[in-house]
């Protein structure tokens, strides 16, 4: 090996120079590339995302007891809730409701208009931020339907009591037998008496069930009272005794 190097000293020297130059040039390029790179920055911490408060749910129903039932839920999303108020047609109902999630209103007390009735829930948060949500509740045209029967000498008086909104008058209901129709009763309309309480009309419609053509005995019957055009009816059962 040493003999070879001595015989080819010039060739080995040239090869050594080329190797040194290549290494130097490669190191230079590596340094330049490293210097031109953007400096590596440490990762930024995740900042909290500001989320707005929202009324997630607001529902309403009209119950068989002639009351409006409202229920709601509010997602504060770390905001301070300052006030919650309830409105119907722009008029506030009740007082402050910040600590409530439901509210019940008797129709006889609040006397809402019949048909679709819009309620608005309004919530106020910090920084004077206000959000609201609406719900429509259908208020029945006829409320508090009940029937009384009163025996008389020649028959039975059937008295239907009901209420309705004065701005949405209803016609006198008609009656139909759903049980006992084979019994030879005759029925005659007597009268309808009304009284007004604010915007609510309280009415009593009376029919007479005549028993002069039936034999003595006990007759269970079911009577359906029908309010034409409103898709409202109600059945009552009573017993006719002669």
Tokens of 161: 């009591």
Q: CB under 8 Å to 53, separation ≥6 — which residues?
A: 74, 75, 76, 77, 79, 81, 123, 125, 129, 131
For the whole model, what pTM was predicted?
A: 0.56
CATH number of 54-139: 2.60.40.10
The pLDDT score that the predictor gives to residue 72 is: 97
CATH number 2.40.70 given to 142-241? no
The pLDDT score that the predictor gives to residue 110 is: 87
The pLDDT score that the predictor gives to residue 190 is: 96
H or E stretch at 170:
none
Q: How far is CA 191 from the centre of its chain?
A: 41
pLDDT mean values, one per 10 residues, the chain (242 residues): 56 61 61 56 61 92 88 92 94 93 90 89 91 93 91 92 88 88 84 92 95 88 90 90 85
Q: CATH topology of 54-139 equal to that of 142-241?
A: yes
Task: Give the DSSP letter of residue 98.
Answer: T
Q: In what order do the strands lie in the sheet with 130-139?
A: 91-93, 81-88, 115-125, 130-139
Domain boundaries, the chain: 54-139, 142-241
Question: What is the Cα–Cα distance from 90 to 95, expressed in whole angstroms?
Answer: 14
Question: What is the Cα–Cα distance from 24 to 19, expressed in whole angstroms?
Answer: 9
């Amino acid at each position: 090996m040493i003999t070879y190097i001595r015989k080819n000293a010039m060739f080995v020297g040239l090869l050594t120079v080329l190797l040194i130059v290549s290494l130097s040039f490669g190191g230079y390029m590596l340094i330049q590339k490293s210097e031109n790179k953007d400096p590596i920055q440490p990762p930024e911490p995740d900042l909290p995302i500001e989320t707005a408060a929202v009324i997630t749910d607001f529902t309403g129903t009209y119950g068989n007891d002639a009351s409006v039932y409202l229920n709601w839920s509010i997602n504060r999303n770390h905001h301070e809730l300052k006030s919650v108020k309830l409105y119907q047609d722009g008029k506030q109902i009740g007082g402050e409701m910040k600590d409530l999630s439901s509210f019940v209103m008797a129709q006889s007390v609040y006397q809402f208009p019949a048909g679709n009735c819009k309620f608005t829930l309004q919530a106020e948060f910090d920084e004077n931020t206000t959000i609201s949500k609406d719900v429509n509740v259908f208020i029945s045209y006829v409320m508090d339907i009940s029937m009384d029967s009163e025996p008389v000498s020649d028959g039975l008086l059937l008295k239907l009591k009901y209420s309705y909104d004065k701005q949405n008058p209803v016609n006198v209901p008609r009656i139909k037998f759903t049980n006992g129709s084979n019994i030879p009763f005759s029925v005659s309309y007597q009268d309808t008496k009304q009284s007004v309480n604010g915007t609510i009309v309280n009415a009593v419609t009376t029919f007479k069930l005549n028993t002069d053509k039936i034999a003595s005995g006990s007759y269970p019957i079911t009577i359906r009272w029908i309010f034409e055009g409103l898709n409202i009816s109600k059945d009552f059962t009573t017993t006719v005794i002669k």
